[in-house]
Chains A and B, each alone.
Chain A
Amino acid sequence: MSQEILLEDMQCVYQKPATLTDDYMHYCPGCGHAVAHKILMEVVQEMGIQEDIVGVAPVGCSVFAYNYMNIDMQEAAHGRASAAATGIKRVLPEKYVFAYQGDGDLAAIGTAETIHTINRGENILIVFINNGIYGMTGGQMAPTSLLGQKTSTSPYGRDVEHNGYPLKITDLIAHLPGAYYVTRQAVHTPNTVRKFKKAIKNAFEFQKLKKGTCFIEVVSNCPSGWKMTPKETLAYIEEKMLPEYPLGDLKVPTQNNN
């Protein structure tokens, strides 16, 4: 049976969103960044906000996000996406603004900007991709690398006495009064992707209310940096990453702060 004949009776139920460009993504096979990009753009398409959104992607693997997301975007300096996003949102308060950052960017070099942006309650969305490693520069240890994790700069495994602890910055952020919605999601299975999509949708809906910063951590993978096949990263996420970074909402709008 040829597919063409079959298709006559069928309707399209899932396709690449038009809010992604036709550019071939530079990401490694199986990279969670690409899934997160796609889902973000699906929500932008479904909400019909493509013409009213500005994104910021700083240094890291996702620095080329502007090649793929068919929206207005700015590339920012390492760690400074939330500051740049603050600048944009303050002069364009009616637009949707988001910063898309990795763990080295958001939780190491950009920690001050991250904390203060959220503490001011900037009405933006921050998407935080946590794959526990510096992907773009070749797999070095990140602030979120797990204890014992071997990276190119922790070749004997991350040692707490030498390198300190994995930084659970999302837990810190949830305590800030400026944070309106804080959640930790993943994109490695169909169900986690569906939940992530819902979280993105919530965040953009909340942004309209101008009640504070929305923050979505995505526990993601880095097959190249972790030196695993994409399939192997699925087990690593489940067995190693999620116990350290459990999924779920850390802060949701309540009657009190609504």
Chain B
Amino acid sequence: METKKSEVRLMKGNEALAEAAIRAGLDAYFGYPITPQSEILEYFTEQIPKRRGVVLQAESEVASINMVYGAAGAGARVMTSSSSPGMSLMQEGISYIAAAELPCLLVNVVRGGPGLGTIQPSQGDYFQATKGGGHGDYRLIVLAPSSVQEMCDFVFDAFKLAEKYRNPAMILSDGALGQMMEKVEFPEEGSLPHIVPDWATTGKKGRERNFITSLHMEPEKMEEINLHLQKKYKTIEENEVRYETLDVEDAEIVLVAFGLPARICQKAVELAREKGIKAGLVRPITLFPFPKKILSDLSKKIDHFLVIELNAGQMVEDVMLAANGNCPVHFKGRMGGMIIQPEDVLEEIEKIIQQPILQE
């Protein structure tokens, strides 16, 4: 559905996301403070009482995610947000939510890890976000914004996808996107209608009872549920892949980056082109479903992939699977809150293209 744009503001990524959620008709937010995403909770506690919905600061991330479970099961449009260590605490609940097929929005403003790590930006939670994260075979729909505008827009997209597929959707942001200020244009409030689903536990008035569960003791039934979930994930992979490309048509080396590093790579492509290097960029927007096809197609035409991440190399594994040996897949990353610079990327590109290609 087209959402009408209505207002332009200069805002922090975290606040833009929260404002967008209210405009998207958020019924309830449950969360717990953690840097660098506390502005989301703060914004809601300030705004929601004056506008509409429920906001509650829970006693922990564990409680938050289970409140989300309860409210989503009761048919509400509901979300939580956290940052890496808090997200780890939520994983059990997320597994239950995915298994019970409850739509909701999860926001991870990723910080450096492992452990308590650092409050600086990172992409170290890629595996956790895209491979399930908790126990069992399940997937989240994962959207990776790279601007404050997308912190806003993806809230609408995430709710739409979550409700369409009865699946939790995640916005995988990072500490830098959460904190930086940019111009953002907001859709109008109420532009994303919400109908209480017929499976919700709202009291069995005029119908058979509903129940929300993830427990199936009979192996036949449990396998049936799993097959159903896998079929759903397959449908999502077929229909909901999103990505952006830059200068890939004639590229010999293609950068692959998501989120903030994709913007750094845009600059690196520019610098490379100035030097006569045919560089391009693929930015996966949905990390699940992952844009396998474009990467697979490109892998047959290009000489190199170079994956740039703010971690030790996580998405690079998915790029390798997509490339399937058709071309070499290189990796350059920074960790612990360090941000890679366009010049570092260019240096890496030059290093790669100077190496002889063994296959030829």
Contacts and interface: CB of A to CB of B under 8 A. Distances in A.
B242 to A, nearest CB: 30
B213 A75 contact: yes
Nearest to A112: B59
Nearest to A99: B70
B74 A91 contact: yes
Nearest to B56: A90
Interface stretch (B201-209, B232-240, B332-340): B201-209
A91 B201 contact: no
A43 interface: no
Chain A interface SS verdict (over half): helix
Nearest to A56: B70
A71 B30 CA distance: 26
Contacts of A50: 204
Interface in B183-214: 201-206, 209-214
B211 A73 contact: yes
Contact of A91 (B58, B78, B205, B212): B78
A92 B54 CA distance: 11
A75 B216 CA distance: 11
B66 interface: yes
A56 B74 CA distance: 11
Contacts of A88: 70-71, 73-74, 201
A47 to B, nearest CB: 13
B87 to A, nearest CB: 16
A87 B68 contact: yes
B235 to A, nearest CB: 26
Interface in A45-72: 50-54, 56, 63-64, 66, 70-72
B204 A83 contact: no
A72 B59 contact: no
B70 A83 contact: yes
A72 B204 contact: yes
Interface string B261-299: 000000000000000000000000000000000000000
A51 B205 CA distance: 5
A54 B66 contact: no
- For chain A, give the interface size range: 20 to 34
Interface residues of B, number: 40
A237 interface: no
B315 interface: no
B28 interface: yes
A87 B209 contact: no
A90 B26 CA distance: 13
A251 interface: no
Contacts of A92: 74, 202-203
A114 to B, nearest CB: 10
A86 B67 contact: yes
A107 interface: no
Contacts of B93: 77, 80
A84 B59 contact: no
A211 interface: no
B215 A63 contact: yes
B70 A53 contact: no
B96 interface: yes
Contact of A113 (B59, B201, B204): B59
A71 to B, nearest CB: 6
Interface string B61-94: 0111011111111111010000000000000110
B250 to A, nearest CB: 52
B59 A87 contact: no
A85 interface: yes
Interface string A95-119: 1000000000000000011011000
Contacts of A250: none
Interface in A107-143: 112-113, 115-116
B71 to A, nearest CB: 4
Contacts of B58: 83, 116
Nearest to A54: B201
A75 B212 CA distance: 6
A92 B70 CA distance: 10
A74 interface: yes
Interface of A: 50-54, 56, 63-64, 66, 70-77, 80, 83-88, 90-92, 95, 112-113, 115-116
13 contacts: A54-B202, A72-B203, A72-B204, A84-B69, A84-B73, A86-B67, A87-B28, A87-B74, A88-B70, A88-B73, A91-B76, A112-B60, A113-B66
- By Cβ-Cβ distance, the 10 closest A-B pairs, closest first, are A87-B70, A84-B70, A83-B66, A87-B71, A87-B67, A80-B66, A72-B201, A116-B59, A75-B213, A91-B76
Interface of B: 27-28, 30, 54, 56, 58-60, 62-64, 66-76, 78, 92-93, 96, 100, 201-206, 209-215
Given A72-B201, A95-B202, 5 more contacts: A75-B100, A77-B69, A83-B67, A95-B203, A112-B60
